[in-house]
Amino acid sequence: METANMENPQEQSSTFQGKFALIVGGSGGIGRAVSIELSRRGARLLVHGRHASERTRGLGLGDCETFDATFDGPVGFIRALDVRLGHIGVEPDIVVCAFGPFLEKPLETCTAEEWEWLTLANLALPGALASRFLPGMLGRKYGRFLFFGGTRTDVIRAYKKTAAYASAKTGLGVLAKSIAEVGAPHDVAAVVVCPGPTETEYLDDEAKVRHAALTATGSLARPEQIALVGLELIDADPCIASGAIVSLI
């Protein structure tokens, strides 16, 4: 990131100015906070969500396109995304994957269907996005990937209640470090942020209380806080944080 304006230290120019960003899962939760912050930093947006065109109204996102799609698997999702991008006529410089269903269930009770769904959504989709857009970024000599892991999935751990979900999310570290290795000579970077329990519309009141009790402060993080940390890490040229796996708990 460029040096702050010394007359107003609160104002900083962003390396995202004029860049085109794809935010998968960008119409709700942490993804929505990312979309708002990217727009504030001058990026053009393609915001994905099941009802993205509805949920982005009134957010003041500026130059924003939407991609309304339900995720049924990486293959169909990428095909539909390619059609949408063909209509827009541009490829993303920044790819954020803030989508990923959560399951709290003991390992011994998880079904094959649940393993398949969680792995496809939380690992195969980010991987497919990377494989799809990495070649273009390498050719253009610029690209940024931001992935969101799960709580404490920054390293390999044991989990009593979320083993299936955490197994997929932990794999994002391999993906980001692989992108960082290939992309380093071409100004292409990737970072994984692993938020702690965060207050979003996807948690009911009981879950909010239970998740807050797991934190040191007894409170949930705000999506805006998580978005700001993630974007600050990649809003730099060169991106010295590339390959980082950051745990926010």
List, for residues 144-177, the tens digit of each pLDDT value. 999 999 999 999 999 999 999 999 999 999 999 9
Count of structural domains within the chain = 1
Q: Which tokens go with 246?
A: 């950051």
Q: What percent of the chain has pLDDT over 70?
A: 91
For 184, half-sphere exposure in the C-beta direction (CA atoms, 13 angstrom radius) is 11
Q: What percent of the chain has pLDDT over 90?
A: 83
The answer, yes or no, to whether residue 55 has pLDDT greater than 90, is: yes
Closest CA to 234 of 41, 25, 105: 41
DSSP 198: B
Model pLDDT, residue 30: 94
Give the integer Cα–Cα distance in Å for 1 and 45. 20
The answer, yes or no, to whether residue 228 has pLDDT greater than 60, is: yes
In a domain, 85, yes or no: yes
Name the more confident of 130 and 212.
130
In a domain, 11, yes or no: no
CATH of the domain at 63: 3.40.50.720
The answer, yes or no, to whether residue 65 has pLDDT greater than 90, is: yes
Task: Name the amino acid, one letter, at 243.
Answer: G
Model pLDDT, residue 9: 38
Model pLDDT, residue 210: 75
Model pLDDT, residue 208: 66
The answer, yes or no, to whether residue 202 has pLDDT greater than 80, is: no
Q: What is the dihedral of CA 62, 95, 134, 1, to 10 degrees?
A: 80
Tens-digit pLDDT profile for residues 8-40:
434 468 999 999 999 999 999 999 999 999 999
In a domain, 38, yes or no: yes
Cβ pair 26, 66 in contact under 8 A: no
In a domain, 15, yes or no: no
Single pTM value for the model: 0.90
Which domain range does residue 204 map to?
20-248
In a domain, 143, yes or no: yes
Cβ pair 247, 148 in contact under 8 A: no
In a domain, 3, yes or no: no
Give the integer Cα–Cα distance in Å for 218 and 212. 5
In a domain, 4, yes or no: no
In a domain, 2, yes or no: no
